[in-house]
Structures are given as structure tokens and as C-alpha cells.
Structure 1
């Protein structure tokens, strides 16, 4: 009880709200408790699906961005070499771009 009295009012309020919620769940009938547990399971499943999709979407976006960045870097390097008069065939070998792509730069 001493700890409770030393807690700020806002923290006390949050604690009592949580205790009230727990007491409400504890007083459910057997059927109500089964329904509550099933609804909670569905909620958690949906939340996990959404969280997983967000993580996968970010990972796919990062991977796609890295690939695009590499391609842009290859093109930039090829342009620099082309401006300095490096033979197209050598640029193609070094960058992995086709000779046609390099000629179109």
C-alpha cells in the first residue's frame, strides 16, 4: 500500500483501470469467458497478420530499392567512363550493362 501512495495520481488511475478490467474478465460466466477468449484470439491473429505484412512489405521495399540503386549506380559509372572516352566494350564488361544500353546514354 505504501508503494501505491507514493505513485503519481496518473499512474494510480492507470493501475486501477487495469485492475477493474481484470476483475471484469474474472467475473465472466463460463460461456462469456469462452467468447471473450475466442474474440481475443481472433484479434491477436489479425494483429499478427498485419504486423507480419508490414515487416515483409518494408523488407521487399528495401530490397527493391537496393536493386534500383545499384542499377542507377551502374548507369552513372558507365556515363562517366563514356565521357572520358573509355571503349564501350570495356564499360559493358565492367558494369554488366549491355553495349546497347551504354550507347543510349
Structure 2
């Protein structure tokens, strides 16, 4: 994952995200129908990658995809999720950063 991010191999990162979600769902059984649906539907919509994050058994889904596709993907996901579970779906946008580091004052 780190090597893929450092070398801008985003498809490699996306594949890792999908693979780790599959492991969380099938091997560790810490996913649920809702998050499995989200990840599966995102994969079918062609996003680069997605996986469950957080405490498990619901949590959130991290999605890696091109910024310009956000509106189309989020609209489709909201509609599909509402139809399937009768629950509204929310999105939180963020950008990858260098992370936390020590600074001198």
C-alpha cells in the first residue's frame, strides 16, 4: 500500500483496498451487509478501490477514486443504498496529506 502511494500506482492501492475489505468481510467476519453492499457496488461502478474502515460492523467505507467522478458516484450510491436499506448514505470528502509530523516553534 505504502509503495503504491509513494510511486503513484493508484490502481495497485485500489486493488489492495478491495482485497483487504474482502479479507475483513470473509476471513475476519467484521463487516456487515451494508458495508459489503457499498464496497461491492462501488467496485461495479468502477472506482479505483474501497474498503471498510473504523471499528467494524458498520463503520465507514474508504473510497479511492478520481475527484471528477465524485458527484456521479455519490448520487448513484445514495440512490442505490436508499433503495436497498431505506437509510440515507453520507459522504465525507478529504485529500491525502503528508500526515502528522513534529514541528519546531
**TM band (smaller chain):** under 0.3
Higher fraction of strand: 2
Structure index of larger Rg: 1
- Structure number with greater CO (CA < 8 Å, separation at least 6) is 2
**TM-score, scaled relative to structure 2:** 0.24
**TM-score, scaled relative to structure 1:** 0.24
